């Protein structure tokens, strides 16, 4: 957890054994009410990075990561 300049942040780490559903993740992430969100998830479709700003959610396929 972190806090500064009026913002609060929190992060989680998941074991690489935890495989997420890409479709369910996208449904969850687009519904978040946040200023900014950055995440990396290991899914059944590969590894993806997500970045949410007021302009919307972007998804980028990644080559590798140690955990989600």
**Rounded distance, CA 36 to CA 56, Å?**
10
Interatomic CA distance for residues 43 and 46, integer angstroms: 5
Give pLDDT tens digits for 4-61. 888 888 899 999 999 999 999 999 999 998 889 999 999 999 999 999 998 999 999 9
Tokens standing for 53? 């700003």
Question: Sign (positive/negative) of CA torsion 28, 14, 9, 37?
Answer: negative
The pTM assigned to this predicted structure is 0.84
The reported pLDDT for the residue numbered 61 is: 95
Find, among 52, 43, 54, the residue nearest to 62 by Cα.
Answer: 43
């Amino acid at each position: 957890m972190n806090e500064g300049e009026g913002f609060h942040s929190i992060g989680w780490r998941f074991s690489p054994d935890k495989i997420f559903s890409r479709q369910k993740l996208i449904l969850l992430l687009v519904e978040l009410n946040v200023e900014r969100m950055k995440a990396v998830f290991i899914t059944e479709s590969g590894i993806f990075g997500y970045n949410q700003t007021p302009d919307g959610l972007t998804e980028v396929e990644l080559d590798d990561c140690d955990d989600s």
